[in-house]
Amino acid sequence: MTVSSNMQLRCELCQIEINENADRGDEVLFSRGATGSRSKLWARVCQYLKTDEQKASCINQDVSKRGTEMPGDRYEEIALVEVEGTQAES
Ligand SMILES: [Zn+2]
């Protein structure tokens, strides 16, 4: 049997794919790094879409699907951890 319970969506604008997984929640496949949640995708990419045309093409504009933004969803918070951990910059 093929995997039929999973639906894979692709957001052409954000260049990501989302596995819709009924059991474990949706899983966003970023082009780099680990998979994440829809709220992470929103915090990093989708919230920056400007025009209505862009928003209409984005598959992650539904707040009821993506949920609220969680700590660590943004790049900034991850960068902060890296700075504290490594001190490799400059
Ligand atoms: Zn998107």
φ and ψ at residue 84, rounded to 5 degrees: -65, -35
Which of 89, 1, 75 is closest to 40 using CA atoms?
75
Mean pLDDT check: name the lowest of 2-6, 22-26, 84-88: 84-88
Cα(11) to centroid(ligand 1), Å: 5
Q: How confident is the model at residue 71, as a pLDDT?
A: 87
Residue 57 burial (10 A CB sphere; 0-12, 13-18, 19+)? middle
Mean pLDDT check: name the lowest of 10-14, 26-30, 53-57, 79-83: 79-83
Q: How confident is the model at residue 25, as a pLDDT?
A: 82
Cα(78) to centroid(ligand 1), Å: 21
Cα(72) to centroid(ligand 1), Å: 19
Cα(89) to centroid(ligand 1), Å: 31
Per-residue pLDDT tens for 53-81?
Answer: 999 999 999 999 999 998 888 876 445 55
